[in-house]
Amino acid sequence: MGPKKQSTAVKRLMTEYKQLLNDPPEGVSAGPISEDNFLEWECLLAGPPDTCYEGGIYPATLTFPEDYPLNPPKMVFNGPIFHPNVYKNGEVCISILHAPGDDPNMYETAAERWSPIQSVEKILVSVISMLAEPNSESPANIDASKMWRDDRPAFEQLVRSQILASLGISNE
């Protein structure tokens, strides 16, 4: 990076990246897309065992704001994923990624939302947990939430067929 002064965000992200390399959480791989841009990360998340997502590999992008860790990154899955807490465009909707402070909708407590003590590792572990246990009370994808609640077998079949398609395996 030469003599250019590194931002607080980049210094923090470099530290978090080293921690992830030394002690990665199970089922997760993440790091900067390039050494020139520490604010854009690639992630791979393995579908959690004993869930309908098991066997799936889910690529995602974490985009950090210039004022990280004061504000949270945005996480977007880069491929199809049918889940109550993932918008159809792939953006993850989970409390830990919501701006700090009180929820204007009074749904989440400030303690559930982003705070500077959170980390990339905590985000990734929270998203794996979200995959395993969707919150259908606060859906980002209404169709997925309704199917999760009302027709679990159909929901699980759709997710499995997405996994097979992503692996290039026919579901016939």
Active site residues: 93
Task: Tell me how far apart the alpha carbons of residues 55 and 48 are, in angstroms, rounded to a whole number.
Answer: 8
Provide the CB-side half-sphere exposure for 41 (13 A, CA).
Answer: 26
Task: Tell me how far apart the alpha carbons of residues 142 and 82 are, in angstroms, rounded to a whole number.
Answer: 11
Residues 58 and 81 sit within 8 Å (Cβ to Cβ): yes
Task: Tell me how far apart the alpha carbons of residues 58 and 42 are, in angstroms, rounded to a whole number.
Answer: 11
